Structure 1
Amino acid sequence: MIEGSRPQPGKASRRSPRAAEDGTELRAGPGTGAGHPAGRETGAGPRARGEGDAGHRARRIATAAWGASIVVASAAGAVLHGLGVLTIDHLPPLHGHFRLPPIALLPAVAFAAVAFAAVAVPALPSLTRRLRFGWALAVAYGSALAWTVLLAISADGLAEPFTHPQEYPAVLPAVGDDPLGWLDTFTERLPGYPTHVRGHPPLAVLVVWALRAAGLAGPLWAALLVVAVGCSATVAIALTVRGLAGEEAARGALPYLALTPASVWIATTMDAFFAGVGAWGVALLVLGRSPAGRVLTAAAAGVLLGALPYLSYGLVPYLLIPVVVIVAARVPRAVVLAAVTGAGAVTAAFAAGGFLWPAGVLATHAEWSADPGAARPYLYFLVANLAVLALLTGPATAMGLVRLTPGALRSGPASPDPAVPGRAAVRGVGILVAAALVAVLALDVSGVTRGEVERIWVPYAVWIGLAASLADGRRPLAAQAVTGLLLQGLVISPW
């Protein structure tokens, strides 16, 4: 792990070229740990020079646009639902129902989620700035777990989504004790399987089957696996950010990764598991201290990334993220070759087991075409899907995206306030955010994601939400937590 550089005793600390570029200065001080930036823990302070009123105005406009996109998509969806155009979506653009339970009937755990947010919003930025990086990662991961679980149990419980007859565990009797035989006949027997199984490749079912084979049967174990892996994306993404944008950018992102509004659907949809697998696949590309170690981690990255198309067909555009990381981090050819080899091994293993990915795509498309979801209006969901993405990523992401505009990246010198990310860090984060946004837009334009994207977008939203860390101050983090609480409290979701 890379800790901050330590100033030598008796010598004045000097600003490194990187610190000068980023506008951060390192100092040792009580409680901060040597080499940690002064003043970062408060999240307060003067904003970047050259930003001024124009920056404030841009953030206000971005926040207003964020809210307007949701209001307009909801209003248009309500009209379409009233006209009978949208028959299976009762709270468009979301696939769920609206609820407004009386406060007196809210369970105590709902107040526990509120209390946790009230403590985490001011505490997390301070902790992730002061602690050594490894401990900061652990605190962020623990916070993500607590936040996600508290949100889940304040509704219908952690395991409830996996008890649905259309979910993956429902097909386990068909798998029996012969997973290879089931895999070999997966495509031809697809029409008889539950909805989620028909819409996905077979690997997700095999993951749940492996849990049962290990003696961890039942929906609760499946939910625990999904939440644990999904929340671990917080750590994996932060490690990737450190590799591309520096440790301070990674520290700044941790609170926003932990308290993302997407946590509402991380508990629990299988897509959260996909998010964790993908995030670690990307992170492993930039890890590894020795050349041999880096090749080994890259091979593991290839296995994880190669597994993504066998977890969900909608994760093919996700592969743009690791490609961008490889280019931006200048990953050596030997590392890239190891990753490609790992991915190829996954494809070869499934082919040997009797499942050919192109045949699976064709079979699933035939099932999707006969499903009521295919009749949803393309143009409405082309726009409404992005409003759902706005909900998953939160208003702070809209504020942070302002700093990724070409004009904002070019204007003004770096801020003297270390609480404001420098231009180099902004560019590094922006690369990851842009890659995820392009991948989402490609999937959205394809038309195969018409509704129900609150779960489909989760693997992408955790990356796009990095932009929230570019919004300075504590209010954006509080806005993220409030968004998550409102979504959990007002929306009844099947996931």
Structure 2
Amino acid sequence: MIRRHVDGAGTSSSALAEPRAVPPPAADRRRTRRALAAWAGLIVSAFAAGAVLHGLGVLTIDHLPPLHAHFRVLTITLLPAAVLAAAAVIVLPDLLARGGFGRALLLAYGCALAWTILLALSGDGPAEPLTHQTEYLAVLPAVGDDPLGWLASFTERLGGYPTHVRGHPPLPVLILWGLARLGMPGALPASLLVITVACSATVAIGLTVRTLAGEDAARRALPYLALTPSAVWIATSMDALFAGVGAWGVALLVLPCRGRSGPAARARVLCGVAAGALLGALPYLSYGLVPYLLIPLVAGMVARVPKATVFAALFGAAAVTAAFAAGGFLWPAGVLATHAQWAADAGAARPYLYFLVANMGVLALMSGPATAAGLVRAGSRPVGAMVAAALVAVLALDLSGVTRGEVERIWVPYALWVGLAAGAVPGRRWLAAQVVTGLLLQSLVLSPW
């Protein structure tokens, strides 16, 4: 139940009532129970089958399949994150339901940062994952003082680079090279950049939902965005940075849809160019982000983005492609070279049919039980369209067969949009279920990211 009031400035705001209000109808309860049973069954079966395959020697490079991780147990070091989570479950929904929307966005962003960083500090810290020799920072000496020369030779020298560089286009390395040139070298500044940009996806997605479905829908989604179980892999995987870039690309595409002339028209064009540049950069950040472009496509259709904005976005995307081509990197050649490297890697030998299903179990784990419950509730149609777009994009990537395992990082940009479904379930119990999922993941799973 939502209570509305109008403040002295005439601005509408909302306050969430306690979850003891009107209980859901019996049909809703049955659908919710079935959804939770399916959610749990998918996850349990994925881990059970993975354990069997690992025991038989079929999966030798994954020790906790379907996750590319090891089992561990964290205890006292997880206490700060648990305290924050408990406090946030109690106060965050009400705080985000009151006051101006800008204030709500800042609170959600601050909570997302604190939740993500405290989870990382309970383990080896946010910087540690980026210190591995398989990561992007390891190739910066090869870039040296000649980034354009490195870019032009990227495809032909791909086989000699670390694992993550071989599996991705060159833009992530160039971003970290630029950060080092700005006087912030090393894993810690890189991890802080990743976390800062990734958590800002909470703000970008919140703005997008407000534009498409209204402020109430956005306020309901913000607590789930801020306390997502995916935060375990937001600190620190470069794919989390990609999530922030993509989310802002979608937001900038739909935000300036009001106004038809004057400054508003100019704003639409400028935002369109910026959105196109960010979205056009996605295929140069990760080849697995091509299906992600379905999300801005659906958002643009729901928002009825003006033609001028669409053309501006296409111009921005084309400018990114032209810049890389001028620098000597052709995206199709990069795809072919990376696929050849992937085919020769041990990961290509992972069983397709197992990961076809198990990858979806990982997505279920990352998006949490509240998302499963929300998927069977009648929520906002625009929000449902965005969730559906993200799910279709994930399915397309899953069916392609190139994502056989290690998807806990690859799914991060998609899981945030899928998690919008959680906004359809009322009450703090669901938010508590989300944070418990995140705490269990952090305490029991040791990932290389």
Same topology, TM > 0.5 = yes
**Structure 1 counterpart of 2:140, one-letter code:** L
The equivalent residue for 1:322 is: 296
Which AA in structure 2 matches 1:95? H
Deviates most, 142-151 or 322-331: 322-331
Cα 1:127–1:24, aligned 2, differ >3 Å: closer, same or farther? Answer: closer
Give the letter aligned to residue 454 of structure 1.
E
Separation (CA, whole Å) in 2 of partners of 1:92 and 1:86: 8
Aligned mate of 1:196, from 164, 168, 187:
164
Contact 2:195–2:234 (Cα < 8 Å) also in 1: yes
Structure 2 vs 1, CA of residues 29 and 42 (structure 1 numbering), >3 Å: closer, same or farther?
farther
Shift of 1:25: 6.8
Match of 2:270 in 1: 296
Task: Give me the whole-angstrom Cα distance separating, in 2, the residues matched to 1:41 and 1:283.
Answer: 29
Aligned amino acid, residue 244 of structure 2: G
Unaligned runs of 5+ in 2: 259-263
C-alpha distance in structure 2 between counterparts of 1:388 and 1:257, whole Å: 18
SS at match of 1:286: helix
Structure 2 partner of 1:413 = none
Please identify the structure whose Cα radius of gyration is greater.
Answer: 1
Contact 2:3 2:16 in 1 (8 A): no
The answer to whether the aligner puts 1:487 opposite 2:441 as a matched pair is yes
- Aligned match of 1:71: 44
Q: 2:137 is matched with which residue?
A: 169
Task: Return closer, same or farther for 1:44/1:142 CA change in 2, 3 Å cut-off.
Answer: farther
1:310 to 2:313 alignment: no
> TM-score scaled by structure 1?
0.88
Cα pair distance change 1:119/1:370, threshold 3 Å: same
Query: Is residue 2:393 matched to residue 1:439?
Result: yes
Distance 1:229 1:200 in 2: 19
Separation of aligned partners in 1, 2:164 and 2:366:
21
Distance 2:387 2:2 in 1: 22
Q: From the superposition, tell whether residues 117 and 33 of structure 1 become closer, same or farther in structure 2 (CA, over 3 Å).
A: farther
Q: 1:446 to 1:281 in 2, by over 3 A?
A: same
Counterpart Cα distance in 2 of 1:435 and 1:482: 27
Distance 1:287 1:247 in 2: 13
Is 2:362 the partner of 1:388? Answer: yes
**What SS does the aligned partner of 1:399 have?**
helix
Secondary structure of residue in 1 paired with 2:124 = coil
Offset, 1:379: 0.1
Quote how far apart the aligned CAs of 1:33 are. Answer: 8.4
Contact map agreement 1:42 1:126 (CA 8 A) in 2: no
SS of 1:287's equivalent in the other structure is helix
Instruction: Say yes or no: does 1:473 pair with 2:447.
Output: no
Counterparts of 1:41 and 1:208, CA distance in 2 = 45
Aligned match of 2:118 in 137, 150, 154? 150
Q: Does structure 1 conserve the Cα–Cα contact (< 8 Å) formed by 2:120 and 2:232? A: yes
Aligned partner of residue 156 in structure 1, secondary structure: coil
Q: Whole-Å Cα distance in 2 between the matches of residues 163 and 293 of structure 1?
A: 41
1:163: how far off?
Answer: 0.4
Correspondence for 2:240: 272
60-69 or 257-266, larger mean C-alpha shift: 60-69
How far the C-alpha of 1:24 sits from its partner, in A, is 6.5
Among 374, 382, 398, the residue aligned to 1:428: 382
2:12 aligned with 1:35: yes
What pairs up with 1:330-349 in 2 under 5 angstroms?
A: 330-349=304-323
| Cα displacement string for residues 3-56 of structure 1 (whole angstroms, at most 9, x for unaligned residues) | xxxxxxxxxxxxxxxxxxxx97732379x984213x425455214xxx511101
How many angstroms does 1:265 deviate by? 0.3
CA contact (8 A) 1:191 1:367 kept: yes
Q: Which amino acid aligns with 1:358?
A: P
Q: Counterparts of 2:365 and 2:47 in 1: how far apart (Å)?
A: 12
**Separation in structure 2 between the aligned mates of residue 183 and residue 44 of structure 1, nearest angstrom:** 59
CA distances 1:411-445 after superposition (whole Å, capped 9, x unpaired): xxxxxxxxxxxx5xx11110100000000000000
* Paired amino acid for 1:311: L
- Following TM superposition, by how much is the alpha carbon of 1:369 offset from its aligned partner in structure 2, in angstroms? 0.1
Cα shift readout 1:320-366 (whole Å, capped 9, x = no counterpart): 00010111111010100000000000000000000000000000000
Which 10-residue stretch deviates more, 362-371 or 465-474?
465-474
Q: Which residue identity lines up with residue 87 of structure 1 in the other structure?
A: T
Name stretches of at least 5 consecutive residues in structure 1 with no aligned partner.
1-22, 404-408, 410-422
Quick one: which amino acid aligns to residue 36 of structure 1?
S
Alpha-carbon offset, residue 122 of structure 1: 1.4
Query: Contact 1:393/1:464 (CA < 8 Å) preserved in 2?
Result: yes
Aligned length: 443
Q: Distance in 2 between matches of 1:27 and 1:229?
A: 34
TM-superposed deviation, 1:490: 0.3
Question: What does residue range 33-432 of structure 1 map to in structure 2 within 5 Å?
Answer: 34-37=11-14, 39-40=15-16, 42-47=18-23, 52-101=25-74, 103=75, 106-107=76-77, 110-288=78-256, 290-403=264-377, 409=378, 426-432=380-386
Output the CA distance in 2 between the equivalents of 1:282 and 1:224: 23
**Alpha-carbon contact 1:33-1:132 (below 8 Å) kept:** no
CA RMSD, 1 decimal: 1.5
Structure 2 counterpart of 1:131, one-letter code: G
- For 1:361 and 1:373, locate their aligned partners in 2 and report how far apart those are by CA, in whole Å: 17
Q: Specify the alignment match of 2:261 in structure 1.
A: none
**How far apart in 2 are the matches of 1:253 and 1:44?**
20
Q: Percent of pairs identical after alignment?
A: 69
Q: How do 1:451-462 residues align onto structure 2 when only pairs under 5 Å count?
A: 451-462=405-416
In structure 2, C-alpha distance between the alignment counterparts of 1:25 and 1:245, rounded to whole Å = 18
| One-letter amino acid of the structure 2 residue matched with residue 88 of structure 1 | I
Q: Is the 8 A contact 1:41 1:129 kept in 2?
A: no
Distance 1:203 1:244 in 2: 31
Quick one: distance in 2 between partners of 1:160 and 1:29? 47
Is 1:26 aligned with 2:4? yes
2: distance between equivalents of 1:43 and 1:295? 43
Q: 2: distance between equivalents of 1:41 and 1:205?
A: 47
Secondary structure at the residue paired with 1:27? strand
Q: TM-score, normalised by structure 2?
A: 0.96
Q: Distance in 1 between matches of 2:108 and 2:99?
A: 11
Native 8 Å contact 1:41 1:125 kept in 2:
no
